[in-house]
Chain A
Amino acid sequence: MTDTTDHRGRNPGGRNEPRDAAEAHGDAYPPTDAMLDAPVDPDFAKASADRLRAAWKTPTGWRYLSAVNNSEVGAWYSLTAFFFMLCAGVLALLIRVQLAVPENDFLPADTFNQFFTMHGSAMMFLFAVPMFEAISILLLPAFLGARDMPFPRLSAYGYWCFLIGGVFVLGSVLFGVGPSSGWFMYPPLATKSEGMGADIWLLGLSFIEVASIAAAVELIVGALKCRPPGMRINLMPLYAWYVLVVGGMILFAFPPLIAGDFLFELERSFDWPFFDPERGGDPMLWQHLFWIFGHPEVYIIFLPSIAIAAMVIPTAAQRPIFGYSWIVLSAVGTGFLSFGLWAHHMFTTGLPALSLGFFSAASEAVVIPTGVQIFAFLATLMVGRVTWSVPMLYIAGSLAIFTAGGLTGVMLALAPMDWQVHDTYFIVAHLHYTIFGGMVFPVMAGVYYFYPFFTKKQMSPRLGRWAFWLAFAGFNVTFMPMHFAGLMGMPRRVYTYPGDIGWDLPNLISTVGAFVVAAGFLVFAWDLIRPKGRQPYTARNPWGGGTLEWSHDVPDQAWGVRSIPYIESRYPLWDQPKIVERMDAGRYYLPDAEEGKRETLVTTVLDAVPVQCLRVGGPTWITHLAAAFTGGAFIFPTFHWYPPAIVCGVLAVACVIWWLWTGTARPPEKTHKEIGLGLTVPIYVSGPAAPGWWGMWITMLADATAFASLIFGFFYFWTASADFPPDGAAHAASGWVWAGAAALTVSWALTRYARRANRAAQVGIARASLATAAALTALGAGAMLWSAHSAGLDPTSHVYPATVWAILVWTAVHVSAGCIMQLYCLAGSLFGKLTPEYDADLWNVSLYWNFMAATVLVSAAVVDLLPGMI
């Protein structure tokens, strides 16, 4: 502690004087020791605790399902994902039974193909990614001493979407109509496949992907804006850093897949030939879009699990993590580099060797940050004094398995090596080593470690060791021989194989091992769900951890923390001796709920200075309705029942509007509020200080990425085919394209102008601008579509008109959503929800329109200017 600056962040004579929001708070912030030592009036403490308890009360009885608090939604989410994982595991066992002996006829070929397709899809989309979101929803607020996520109803909506979509997709296997083209759904096999399997995959999983993005947006905003006062960005728990990185990766990785799904479903439903080589399409485009998603996906599921290790290891070593900056480097670095790996799934597609080389290089480069993380953990354990525990056992197992998978990954990253073993059982072994070591075992470590936090009970160390050794030994027995089978030439996804070329023994061993793994999971599942009613509560901080989640009371209270502390360390429970006592006493921020509303603190991004007391939503059924109708809009089209789908879509939009109108950005009864320790912050903020604005910004990044993927498709068709656009092809009518673009650009300008006018209290002008803008939007969208229709572009004839139509439809649908938003703001202004002081909606909508202006201009340029140039 050689630091000369004082504890409160004032840096006399320092170069980097804080010029931030802290100044606005004057002497009240940051709190001094004297302020924190002042006793809390016992009567007030009791009364405020009662009010707080009432505000955060979890609904009981059947109303329990209307809960939106992160601890409920997170728990449902995790258990559902775990259940889907067990289902996908059963499919794996059936697959292994079929492959136990050569020429087996346990499963028919088509059933086998459905099973492996569903095993992969479910493990990825229904377990790995949702599990990250579930655990993060459950844990992140606790790490940050927050009461809830910034948009709790959004997490509830995401959960119900996930549940509906997951049951629909998984259930299809029970009826024998599941997708059977592999989890990667390569066209033309998947576009031409009969039955509705491929549609179930596309629509069901798109639905879940949208929910995933929603969760990612919320988690990013949570980590950036809902930290406790004083938790500057250099003090954030590493888990929050990983959440930021992984959330960011989801924003850029999922949209290309959603764009791909959009094109794919247009081909399947309406015969637009994006992937059909006979009409100029190209199946390779799907491979690019799928793997631009697919490889970051691997790191999306790996990094959060590393994040769990980053929370477990300092506790085991009883010292702060060693090399915090190094770990941040590796998390951010891995996040970026993982986007340069996608074509290593396409090493055998005949791309130029030079192109393969770039991807080979990036695939090797990503090993460096991954290694840094592992060595930072090793260094932490070296310089600390390690207490061995069940979670550490799982961490050790995960390291052993993950490094084996990582090292085969280093081999596979070299394209020539991949030319041999690509799509063989060697890959099956490699990917399971990375995912079991990089995700499953760390998550199990996390469950053992955090179980006392979730339930205030302990899981059994004895059962934990049994589960570990069964799963660990069984895993290696299952997957180690697969390396050998692959090198002996066994391709993936074969339902049968001949008995005389040396594959029978490794396959039999693998099958035996698979059942041992299953036994391990059964023990684990039993330990997880067995009744622990008679077991006494655990200690408040049973492992001696240093982060805020261990400050929660025993038994747990729905409010999370009694008061939101001021943070001065990465490990406040170790370094701030009186913190828990003061939190419990209600000495810190927001100890009360005077108005009976659920509130949490919003702080600045870098230095976590309090800027707002955010009111968050409580229990509701609107999210269930919205999720059910959204589900209908995605599920009915798989049966080609379009009218009910459209009705559901409209109702879903109506539900969302109702939900936003009644639950968000309502003008408060007073502008500011005292939140404790003499600090007063606004209740309502708009623009860049508001979480909603950040949510919009982040969502639009994802949306822009999806749009960019469509535009990439246009360029891709141009490079990949000699006749794009074909000679003499009809083009969209120039005049209409630009008329539409002009109308929409004016609509954008008017929306922005409306925001300024409204701020300046020129409400009439603002309303007129919004009304005009909405009308222009409708006209502009119509003109854009008419430009293709009037020119006679037939989207089923060739990929060029199909691409033009896809871009125009995308644009029109997006500006239509923008039109609804303009009308929403207009209605808000008319009915007093939106005033010159309270204008968050208008800020968010004009931000949306900034992105729309760019979308419209790019669309117009690509559709009209580009074909002439290339």
Chain B
Amino acid sequence: MAQHREEKTELKTFSEEQSSLWLIALGPTIWALHFIACYAATAVVCAKLDRLAEDGWLLRAMIGTATAVALALIAWTGWRSWRQWDFLDDRDHVHHRPVTEHRHEFLGHASFLLACLSFVGVLYVALPAVFVTGCV
């Protein structure tokens, strides 16, 4: 019985640790999925649906939709991490103390910055669709 409880605590701690670490990776992961979606859509449409690709609107619509979804998700991640950072309470952005609060806010801060970077990254990756039409 004691064994069993120990095992459960282990798993619980692990999953809490994991979710906090995952938040850091969430923004860039959304960026990566958006990137793969754009790349795969172009590859498949250009290779298999050449006729539909000619005027370029199909691809633009697909990339536009993916971009909107990705930006919304990253914005949500950013909002969550901004809350976790909780900058406005003490204006702290150094997080160098050995306390749980600093660890917690540090992870929020790093996740927030990564969400910002991912936001810019998604915008960059969507930019080609503005300038290039079709599968030339």
Spell out A's residues near B (CB within 8 Å): 2-3, 5-9, 11, 14-21, 24, 230, 232-235, 320, 324-326, 328-329, 332-333, 335-337, 339-340, 352-358, 360-362, 364-365, 368-369, 567-570, 604-607, 687-689, 719-720, 759, 836-837
Say which residue of A333, A368, A568 sits within 8 Å of B98 (CB atoms). Answer: A568
Instruction: Give residues of chain B (94-108) contacting chain A, Cβ–Cβ below 8 Å.
Output: 94-104, 106-107
Which residues of B sit under 8 angstroms from A332, Cβ to Cβ?
24-25, 28, 110, 114
3 closest pairs, A vs B, by CB?
A357-B128, A336-B28, A234-B106
Please give me the residue from chain B that is nearest to A9 by CB atom: B99
Verify B101–A16 contact, CB threshold 8 A: yes
CA distance in complex: A266, B39 (Å): 28
- CB within 8 Å for A352 and B135 given contacts A332-B114, A358-B125, A604-B17: yes
Verify A569–B98 contact, CB threshold 8 A: yes
Which residues of B sit under 8 angstroms from A340, Cβ to Cβ?
31-32, 35, 125
Verify B35–A333 contact, CB threshold 8 A: no
Count of B residues near A, CB < 8 Å? 62
Q: Is the interface of B mostly helix, strand, loop or mixed?
A: helix
CA distance in complex: A326, B112 (Å): 10
Most chain-A CB neighbours within 10 Å: which of B95, B97, B99, B103? B99
Which residues of A sit under 8 angstroms from B72, Cβ to Cβ?
none
Verify B28–A333 contact, CB threshold 8 A: yes
User: 8 A-B residue contacts at CB 8 Å?
Assistant: A6-B99, A232-B100, A235-B98, A325-B106, A337-B28, A357-B131, A361-B124, A687-B10
- Besides the contacts A232-B98, A332-B25, what 15 more A-B pairs have beta carbons closer than 8 Å? A5-B101, A20-B13, A20-B16, A24-B9, A352-B42, A352-B46, A354-B42, A355-B39, A355-B46, A356-B128, A369-B117, A607-B100, A687-B10, A719-B44, A759-B4
CA distance in complex: A568, B9 (Å): 26
- CB within 8 Å for A354 and B135 given contacts A16-B100, A365-B124, A607-B103: yes
CA distance in complex: A9, B136 (Å): 60
Please give me the residue from chain A that is nearest to B4 by CB atom: A759
Which residues of A sit under 8 angstroms from B102, Cβ to Cβ?
232, 234
Most chain-A CB neighbours within 10 Å: which of B29, B90, B132? B132
Verify B99–A11 contact, CB threshold 8 A: yes
Tell whether B127 is near chain A: CB-to-CB under 8 Å. Answer: yes
Say which residue of B96, B126, B136 sits within 8 Å of A353 (CB atoms). Answer: B136
CA distance in complex: A569, B95 (Å): 10
Verify B125–A362 contact, CB threshold 8 A: yes
Which residues of B sit under 8 angstroms from A21, Cβ to Cβ?
9, 13
CA distance in complex: A24, B8 (Å): 14
Say which residue of B11, B90, B96, B121 sits within 8 Å of A362 (CB atoms). Answer: B121
Say which residue of A8, A358, A607 sits within 8 Å of B38 (CB atoms). Answer: A358
Q: Write the nearest CB–CB distance from A236 to chain B, whole angstroms.
A: 10
CA distance in complex: A225, B96 (Å): 20
Verify A333–B132 contact, CB threshold 8 A: no
Q: Write the nearest CB–CB distance from A24 to chain B, whole angstroms.
A: 8
Please give me the residue from chain B that is nearest to A357 by CB atom: B128
Interface string of B1-42 (1 = CB under 8 A from A): 001100101110110110011001100110110010011001
CA distance in complex: A2, B91 (Å): 11
Which residues of A sit under 8 angstroms from B11, Cβ to Cβ?
687-688
Please give me the residue from chain A that is nearest to B28 by CB atom: A336
Verify B106–A14 contact, CB threshold 8 A: no
Most chain-A CB neighbours within 10 Å: which of B32, B38, B59, B128? B128
Verify A329–B114 contact, CB threshold 8 A: yes
Verify B121–A337 contact, CB threshold 8 A: yes
Verify B17–A606 contact, CB threshold 8 A: yes
- CB within 8 Å for A9 and B28 given contacts A233-B106, A358-B39: no
Verify B114–A232 contact, CB threshold 8 A: no
Verify A719–B47 contact, CB threshold 8 A: yes
CA distance in complex: A687, B102 (Å): 28
Which residues of B sit under 8 angstroms from A11, Cβ to Cβ?
99-101
Tell whether B129 is near chain A: CB-to-CB under 8 Å. Answer: yes
Please give me the residue from chain B that is nearest to A415 by CB atom: B128
Which residues of B sit under 8 angstroms from A3, Cβ to Cβ?
97, 99
Verify B113–A325 contact, CB threshold 8 A: yes
Most chain-B CB neighbours within 10 Å: which of A234, A362, A567? A234
- CB within 8 Å for A325 and B47 given contacts A352-B136, A358-B38: no
CA distance in complex: A569, B24 (Å): 22
Instruction: Give residues of chain B (55-102) contacting chain A, Cβ–Cβ below 8 Å.
Output: 59, 90, 93-102
Say which residue of A5, A233, A353, A759 sits within 8 Å of B7 (CB atoms). Answer: A759
Q: Write the nearest CB–CB distance from A473 to chain B, whole angstroms.
A: 37
Which residues of A sit under 8 angstroms from B96, Cβ to Cβ?
234-235, 320, 324, 569-570
Tell whether B52 is near chain A: CB-to-CB under 8 Å. Answer: no
CA distance in complex: A320, B32 (Å): 33
Most chain-B CB neighbours within 10 Å: which of A362, A364, A606, A836? A606
CA distance in complex: A339, B114 (Å): 16
Say which residue of A235, A320, A329, A687 sits within 8 Å of B113 (CB atoms). Answer: A329
Q: Write the nearest CB–CB distance from B18 to chain A, whole angstroms.
A: 8
Verify A358–B35 contact, CB threshold 8 A: yes
Which residues of B sit under 8 angstroms from A356, Cβ to Cβ?
128
CA distance in complex: A567, B46 (Å): 56
Q: Write the nearest CB–CB distance from A100 to chain B, whole angstroms.
A: 43
Which residues of A sit under 8 angstroms from B134, Cβ to Cβ?
354
Say which residue of A18, A329, A364 sits within 8 Å of B124 (CB atoms). Answer: A364
Which residues of B sit under 8 angstroms from A568, Cβ to Cβ?
98
Verify A361–B125 contact, CB threshold 8 A: yes
Verify B14–A688 contact, CB threshold 8 A: yes
Q: Write the nearest CB–CB distance from A711 to chain B, whole angstroms.
A: 13
Say which residue of A320, A336, A836 sits within 8 Å of B31 (CB atoms). Answer: A336
Which residues of B sit under 8 angstroms from A361, Cβ to Cβ?
124-128
Verify A605–B21 contact, CB threshold 8 A: yes
Which residues of A sit under 8 angstroms from B13, Cβ to Cβ?
19-21, 604
Verify A606–B103 contact, CB threshold 8 A: yes
CA distance in complex: A335, B16 (Å): 24
Most chain-A CB neighbours within 10 Å: which of B95, B121, B129? B121
Which residues of A sit under 8 angstroms from B32, Cβ to Cβ?
336, 339-340
- CB within 8 Å for A329 and B117 given contacts A11-B99, A354-B132, A357-B128: yes
CA distance in complex: A344, B106 (Å): 34
Which residues of A sit under 8 angstroms from B125, Cβ to Cβ?
340, 358, 361-362, 365
Which residues of A sit under 8 angstroms from B109, Cβ to Cβ?
325
Say which residue of B25, B97, B103 sits within 8 Å of A233 (CB atoms). Answer: B103
Verify B16–A19 contact, CB threshold 8 A: yes
Which residues of A sit under 8 angstroms from B135, Cβ to Cβ?
352-354
Say which residue of A232, A353, A689, A719 sits within 8 Å of B43 (CB atoms). Answer: A719
CA distance in complex: A362, B32 (Å): 10
Which residues of B sit under 8 angstroms from A606, Cβ to Cβ?
17, 20-21, 103
Say which residue of B10, B24, B98, B129 sits within 8 Å of A354 (CB atoms). Answer: B129
- CB within 8 Å for A719 and B129 given contacts A5-B99, A9-B98, A325-B109: no
Please give me the residue from chain A that is nearest to B59 by CB atom: A354
Which residues of B sit under 8 angstroms from A2, Cβ to Cβ?
90
Which residues of B sit under 8 angstroms from A232, Cβ to Cβ?
98, 100, 102-103
Which residues of B sit under 8 angstroms from A337, Cβ to Cβ?
28, 31, 121
Please give me the residue from chain B that is nearest to A322 by CB atom: B94
CA distance in complex: A95, B80 (Å): 55
Q: Write the nearest CB–CB distance from A153 to chain B, whole angstroms.
A: 26
Q: Write the nearest CB–CB distance from B64 to chain A, whole angstroms.
A: 13
Which residues of B sit under 8 angstroms from A362, Cβ to Cβ?
35, 121, 124-125
CA distance in complex: A521, B107 (Å): 42
Q: Write the nearest CB–CB distance from A283 to chain B, whole angstroms.
A: 16
Verify B100–A328 contact, CB threshold 8 A: no
CA distance in complex: A332, B134 (Å): 34
Most chain-A CB neighbours within 10 Å: which of B3, B28, B44, B117? B117
Please give me the residue from chain A that is nearest to B109 by CB atom: A325
Please give me the residue from chain B that is nearest to A233 by CB atom: B103
CA distance in complex: A35, B92 (Å): 31
Verify A234–B95 contact, CB threshold 8 A: yes
CA distance in complex: A332, B90 (Å): 26
CA distance in complex: A788, B115 (Å): 46
